[in-house]
């Protein structure tokens, strides 16, 4: 699926079971592969300033590989560790 990065910001993320996760506030990009790695539920600046950045990042991100569709909302598949 091809989509502009700017189209992702502010979209609501919902699981395919209908559970609301949050809004896309920021993105993590993988420049080596040229892909979006994760959708962030908070601004990356807030995570960097956190006392426990790795734990906060895990709680505040959704791996882009879980994305099933992007339209008015972003639908993601469930996982063992829903963030």
pTM for the model stands at 0.83
Could you tell me if 68 and 75 are in contact, meaning their C-beta atoms sit under 8 angstroms apart?
yes
pLDDT exceeds cutoff 90 at 79: no
pLDDT tens-digit series, residues 51-63: 788 888 888 999 9
Q: Which domains are present in the chain?
A: 5-65 (2.30.30)
How many Cβ atoms from other residues are within 10 Å of residue 40's Cβ? 19
Q: How far apart are CA 53 and CA 6, in angstroms?
A: 25
3-class SS string, 18-70? CCEEEECCEEEEECCCCEEEEEECCCHHHHHCCCCHHHHHHHCEEEHHHEEEE
């Amino acid at each position: 699926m091809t989509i502009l990065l700017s189209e992702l910001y502010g979209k609501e993320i919902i699981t395919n079971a209908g559970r609301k996760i949050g809004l896309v506030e920021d993105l993590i990009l993988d420049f080596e592969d040229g892909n979006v790695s994760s959708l962030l539920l908070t601004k990356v600046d807030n995570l960097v300033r956190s006392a426990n950045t790795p734990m906060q990042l895990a709680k505040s991100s959704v791996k882009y590989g879980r994305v099933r569709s992007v339209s008015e909302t972003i639908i993601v598949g469930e996982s063992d560790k829903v963030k």
